[in-house]
């Protein structure tokens, strides 16, 4: 079983760990069932099956991800905005929601916004 995110920013940390391990199911477990993921190039994945397919393709060449520089999560009740600057300068942005058990899952993921200026 995968360790749950107890804080919104745990999600990104777990994402990097699981991606580097090639753990597709562990990555998918970071998302709500009806989550949406946009890749920044026009591809949108809706729901866990499409998100799984996206990450199968993304991890096909086994990239090794560096830990990101996470901004402090902006929380409003059970919703949080998470954001990270990647080592290549790209920025991600996600919306996470607190689950009934107190853990967090992503609901919306803008996978890469492009280079920061």
9-55: per-residue pLDDT in tens? 999 999 999 999 999 999 999 999 999 999 877 889 999 999 999 99
Distance between CA atoms of residues 32 and 41, nearest Å: 22
The domains located in the chain, with CATH, are 10-110 (3.10.450.50)
20-33: per-residue pLDDT in tens? 999 999 999 999 99
How many CB atoms are located within 10 Å of the residue 16 CB?
Answer: 17
Burial class (CB in 10 A: 0-12, 13-18, 19+), 7: middle
**Nearest residue to 74 via CA among 14, 3, 8, 2:** 8
> pTM (2 decimals)?
0.91
Place 114 in a pLDDT band, splitting at 50, 70 and 90. Answer: low
**Nearest residue to 19 via CA among 117, 94, 115, 111:** 111
């Amino acid at each position: 079983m995968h360790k749950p995110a107890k804080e919104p920013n745990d999600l990104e940390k777990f994402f990097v760990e699981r991606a580097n391990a090639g753990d597709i199911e562990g990555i998918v477990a970071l998302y709500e069932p009806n989550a949406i993921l946009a890749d920044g190039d026009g591809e949108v994945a809706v729901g866990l099956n499409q998100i799984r397919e996206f990450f199968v393709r993304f991890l096909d060449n086994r990239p090794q991800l560096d830990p990101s520089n996470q901004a402090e999560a902006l929380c409003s009740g059970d919703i949080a905005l998470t954001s990270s600057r990647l080592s290549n300068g790209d920025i991600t942005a996600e919306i996470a929601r607190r689950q009934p058990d107190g853990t967090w899952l992503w609901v919306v993921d803008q996978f890469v916004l492009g280079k920061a200026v």
